[in-house]
Amino acid sequence: EPEVTQTPSHQVTQMGQEVILRCVPISNHLYFYWYRQILGQKVEFLVSFYNNEISEKSEIFDDQFSVERPDGSNFTLKIRSTKLEDSAMYFCASSEEGAGGETQYFGPGTRLLVL
Amino acid sequence: AQSVTQPDIHITVSEGASLELRCNYSYGATPYLFWYVQSPGQGLQLLLKYFSGDTLVQGIKGFEAEFKRSQSSFNLRKPSVHWSDAAEYFCAVGGNNFNKFYFGSGTKLNVKP
């Protein structure tokens, strides 16, 4: 069964450093998403991406964040200058289309720790 | 605004006992409702979803959930829990006019032998 994969599974970085989280969505899916979960809090939407551009972003997704689909398979989330409060589990998801309520398939997550 | 509440942070049940995990949502129109499960080191796996029609939906691994509009609830049930069901369970809501999901905080299920 096709699945979403994410690398790395864990990342430790120093405050102020740049990190890139990588995701490989399911191959025939067209919509991609990033969510995050700060420890003990809800899973929160960050951004959705379609046709090589952001379709929606939350207020969390400020100028420190960017997303890119650098090739036909990868989807990346970059945090330019990490802050302590960026420590969280980051989930990538994909769906076939972006129809409202369509099932999103999630990866295993990357746990980011900013020191 | 849309939101999801899972009132139980941790639940412990004995193996073989029945299970009910609670989920309440807030959304002005007909919601699309999902339950996901996350085992350690794994991604969020879809258990089941409600779009429309029959309010009792069946999912994988013997789980079912019932949509109750009057109570704004979508509780997850299983008649007999297995040790392998120990995991964290997330309820999520989607809608017609947006393609992002709103998640609850999750419920961690512990299964006693």
Considering chain A, what is the average pLDDT of its residues? 93
Residue B52: closest C-alpha in chain A: A101
Side-chain-facing half-sphere of B35: CA atoms under 13 Å? 29
Number of other CB atoms surrounding residue B52 within 10 Å: 9
pLDDT tens for B48-106 read 999 888 899 999 999 999 999 999 999 999 999 999 999 999 999 987 777 789 999 99
Contact at CB, A44 and B103, closer than 8 angstroms: yes
B32-37 mean pLDDT: 95
Distance of residue B76 Cα from the nearest chain A Cα, in angstroms: 18
Q: Which chain B residues have a beta carbon less than 8 Å from that of A57?
A: none
What does the alpha-carbon distance between residue A107 and residue A73 come to, in Å, rounded to a whole number? 14
Distance between CA atoms of residues B71 and B91, nearest Å: 15
Say if B94 is an interface residue toward chain A (CB within 8 Å): yes
> CA gyration radius for chain A?
13
Condensed to tens digits (0 to 9), the pLDDT of residues A22-70 reads 999 999 899 999 999 998 888 999 999 998 999 999 999 999 999 999 8
Residues on chain A touching B98 (C-beta within 8 angstroms): 56, 100
- Predicted pLDDT at A110: 96
CB contact under 8 A, A106 and B44: yes
Prior bond of B113 cis (ω within 30°): no
Q: Which residues contact A26 (CB under 8 A, 6 or more apart)?
A: A2, A3, A4, A94, A105
Query: B95: closest CA among B64, B57, B51, B45?
Result: B51
